[in-house]
Structure 1
Amino acid sequence: MTQPLLDLDGHTDVPNDRVAAIVTYLQVLEKPLAGPRSDAVRLVPVPKPDLGWYRDLYRAIGGDWLWTSRLRLSDDALAAILHHPDVAVFSGEGAAGSVGIVELDFRVPGEAEIVFFGLRPEATGKSLGAAMMARAVDEAWRPGIGRVWLHTCTLDHPAAVKFYQRQGFRPYKRAIEIFPDPRLTGIFPRSAAAHVPVIGS
């Protein structure tokens, strides 16, 4: 008898060269009331973003949280997503230039996914996140949209779920994600994401 891939009532070992996270999915099914607005941050559309610019910003924002999905893609695969007419990328612009990123995916009719949302580490703690999310939600609620959703996980900032709930999102599903530890594949240095121990060698 083969061992189940996932023990739903106990513990399942994760190989040492991989990391695991619990993913929480959240959604909004009607346009929320206007959230906080601030001139300290703007969302600037970036049509067909340069892949180097995108990867640099993505890496700066996601390094401490082990964001890797976009960094594992080839140029062609990444361009196919970011340059798709139903995908919109925005730079969160503050006084110091690009401080954040918002990526919206409208490829499924009737819904918008906030695929990535984040601020550079030096821009956090300055009340920019809520204002940037309010603008992101405004951009997501285009005509014909009836659902806006996103996901976060236990590798992200510990306040992420509460932050999204404060913006009106409600959790509706959980999943388990297991992927190669990017500090062992060379995507990030071993010092990244110190809250997640490196076990493999």
Structure 2
Amino acid sequence: MILPDGYSDVPAGKIAAVVTHLEMTARPRPRPDPAGAWTLRRVEMPPLDWFRDLYRRVGEEWLWISRIRMPDAQLAAIIQSPLMEIYALAHEGCDEGLLELDFREPGQCEVVSFGVAEKLVGTGAGRWLMNRALELAWSRPVTRVWLHTCTFDHPAALAFYQRSGFRPFRRQVEMVNDPRLDGTVPRDVARHVPVIE
């Protein structure tokens, strides 16, 4: 369905975001690594509790909810698939960043989850992680790497992805039940998205 021009009401109890899909069809020129004491490790067969904990710490403020609401069996089938690669960015002995690469569609890589915990935002860790993400994605025989972001995400996310070599190709509007009203995430997160009951 295409929304008409002008304003469209979002019902109370719902939230709506503009989602921008971005892609690259050739490996971009590598960007310099910022200085920092980060390491990356692949997590084979990630435990669900570990994954959801890191997913929340990285994405809760930006209303990442899909993996939190997903039933255990469905989440396990996805993140433990041999065609998925899950990585943790470690800093001072703790996992503080998440990278999820999906190679299930031949010739493509979707960057499904990408981000660093609040304490690393603005430190260069995101740039370092994106450099690793692109190295890993393009190490496979792919012709397209893509991801999406939305207006709930960090305000610098879209520009960051474009500086990384991604270009926008599609925009959508997504409407869902506000996860702060059913306890999926705490009520006080994402103050940039007002709660309307």
TM-score range, shorter chain: over 0.9
Indicate the percent of aligned positions where both proteins have the same amino acid. 46
Q: Does 1:194 align with 2:191?
A: yes
Displacement of 1:39 in angstroms is 5.4
What secondary structure, in the 3-state scheme, does the structure 1 residue paired with 2:190 have? coil
Question: Which residue does 1:13 correspond to in 2?
Answer: 9
CA distance in 1, matches of 2:165, 2:40: 20
Q: Does 1:155 align with 2:152?
A: yes
Question: Which residue does 2:24 correspond to in 1?
Answer: 28
CA distance in 2, matches of 1:72, 1:185: 11
Displacement of 1:160 in angstroms is 0.5
**Unaligned stretches of 5+ residues in structure 1:** none
Question: Which residue does 1:140 correspond to in 2?
Answer: 137
Q: How does 1:85-164 map to 2 (within 5 A)?
A: 85-164=82-161
Q: Does 1:165 align with 2:162?
A: yes
Over the aligned positions, Cα root-mean-square deviation in angstroms equals: 1.2
For the 8 Å contact 1:61–1:119, the answer to whether it is kept is yes
- TM-score of the pair, normalised by structure 1: 0.94
Q: Does 1:50 align with 2:47?
A: yes
* Aligned length in residues: 196
Equivalent AA in structure 2 for residue 142 of structure 1: S
For the 8 Å contact 1:6–1:12, the answer to whether it is kept is no
CA distance in 2, matches of 1:188, 1:16: 18
Equivalent AA in structure 1 for residue 24 of structure 2: V
Displacement of 1:112 in angstroms is 0.1
CA distance in 1, matches of 2:39, 2:135: 12
Q: How big is each residue's C-alpha offset from its partner over 1:2-53, in whole Å with a ceiling of 9 and x where there is no partner? A: xxx6532112111111100000111111011222235522221001101001
CA distance in 2, matches of 1:122, 1:143: 32
CA distance in 2, matches of 1:143, 1:74: 30
CA distance in 1, matches of 2:2, 2:27: 37
Equivalent AA in structure 2 for residue 78 of structure 1: L
For the 8 Å contact 2:26–2:143, the answer to whether it is kept is yes
Task: Identify the match of residue 181 of structure 2 among 179, 184, 188.
Answer: 184
What secondary structure, in the 3-state scheme, does the structure 1 residue paired with 2:17 have? strand
**Unaligned stretches of 5+ residues in structure 2:** none
What secondary structure, in the 3-state scheme, does the structure 1 residue paired with 2:179 have? coil
1:127–1:178 CA distance, 2 compared to 1 (3 A): same
